[in-house]
Structure formats: structure tokens, C-alpha cells
Structure 1
Amino acid sequence: MPLVSIENTITIALSVTDRYKSAKWYENMLGFQTNFHSDEAGWSELQTKTTGVTIGLGEHTKPAPGNCVPVFGIADLDTARQKLEHAKVKFDGETDVVEGMVKTATFYDPDGNALMLAEDLTGGI
């Protein structure tokens, strides 16, 4: 039995220099559809052709090339984090919260690959 229960969503997070330009590229090249742009969070999200799988674009002035962080949807991030930390899973700092939008926490697998948990705070909007 797993320590935490992941929901039926995954967001593949990529670091980009211009979210709007990148979103247009994913729309034009791959047929993805932009769900939203959040200037406050520096984040854009696109729906892929696969149900439950989205591409998230995080805007950074100097993105790391070849980066990719799978983001797993979870109903209760705080409880999941507590369980994983108890199992000695390493997290990268504190949980980040964008009120009314999302709560996220980055953690690492045994090889140092970054993964993220995300709790939807929109109330299903």
C-alpha cells in the first residue's frame, strides 16, 4: 500500500523564458490548448491530448535546459508531505501556496530527480 494517494492528474512542469510565446508554440506545434495564464504565479497551463495530463510553464529568466518536473495532483498535500517526510523523503524547502490557486511542494527521488505534489485550491473552478 503506498504512503500517499495520487489523483488522476499529472502536470509536466517546464521552465521557460516567455510563457505566452511558449504556450503559442505548444498550441501551434502540438495542438495543445491553453487553460490559463497566471501572471501573479508566473505560470501557464496547457491541456494535452491525454486526459488528466497538462503541461505547466513556469517563467524564469534563466531556465535550466532540459528540465522537466512531473507534478502529481493530490487531495491533501500537508498530510502526504508529512507521511513522505516521515519516510525520510527529502523536500526542497517549504510548501508554496498561491492563495485560491494551488499549494505545491517539491521533493526528490533517490537519484535526485525533482518531483512535485500539487493540491488544487480553486475549489474545482
Structure 2
Amino acid sequence: MPLVSLDNTITLALSVRDRHASADWYAQKLGFELLYHMDDAGWSELATRTEGVTLGLGEQSEPTPGNTVPVFGVADIAGARSALEEAGVKFDGATETIEGMVSTATFYDPDGNALMLAQDLSK
């Protein structure tokens, strides 16, 4: 039985130089639909053509190509994090929260690949 109950969503988070230009590119080239730009947080999100899968664009001055972070949706981030930590999973810092939007926590698989949990707080 899994330690964490995931919901039916996943966000693939990419680092980009210009979220607005990248969002336009993904819309024009792949038919993704812009969901929103959150300029204060340096984050944009697009709906892909696959149900439950979104593309998140995090703005960085020097993005690392090929550094995609899968973000798994959970209903209870505190409970999910606690269960994984008790099982020896390493997390990177504290859970971060943008009030009224999302709470996220980055963790690592055994090979050091970054993964993230996210609880939607907008509902």
C-alpha cells in the first residue's frame, strides 16, 4: 500500500527565462491553453491536452535545460510529507505556501531526482 494518496493531477514544472514567451510558444506549437500567469510568484500554468496534466513554468534568470520536476497533487500535504519523512524520504527545506493558491514540498528519489508534492488551496 502506498504511503501517500495522490490525486489525479500532475504538473510538469520547467524552468524558463520568460514565462510569457514560453507560454505563447507552448500554446502555438502544442495547443496548450494558458490557465494563468502569477507574476508575483514568477509562475505560469498551462493545461496540456492530457486530462489532469498541466505544465508549470517557473521563471529563472538562468534555467537549467532538462530539469523537469514532476509535481504530484495531494489532498493533505502535511500528512503526505509526514508519511514520506517517516519512511526516510529526504525533503528540501520547509513546505512553502502561497496563501489561497498552493502549498508545495520538494523531495528526492534515491538517485537525487527532485519531485514535488502540491496541495491546491484554491478550492
TM-score (norm: length of structure 2)? 0.99
CA distance in 2, matches of 1:100, 1:75: 14
Question: Which secondary structure does the structure 2 equivalent of 1:40 belong to?
Answer: helix
Match of residue 45 from structure 1: 45
Match of residue 96 from structure 2: 96
Superposed CA deviations along residues 17-71 of structure 1, whole A, max 9, x for unmatched, are 1000000000000000000000111100000000000000000111111110000
Instruction: For structure 1, list consecutive stretches of 5 or more residues without a partner in the other structure.
Output: none
Alpha-carbon RMSD across the aligned residues, in angstroms, is 0.5
Match of residue 21 from structure 1: 21
Q: Which amino acid aligns with 2:16?
A: V
TM-score (norm: length of structure 1)? 0.97
CA distance in 1, matches of 2:11, 2:48: 10
The percentage of counterpart residues that share the same residue type is 67
* Superposition misfits of 4+ residues, deviation over 3 angstroms: none
Number of equivalenced pairs: 123
- Determine whether 1:70 maps to 2:56: no
Superposed CA deviations along residues 103-124 of structure 1, whole A, max 9, x for unmatched, are 000000001010000000101x
Match of residue 80 from structure 1: 80
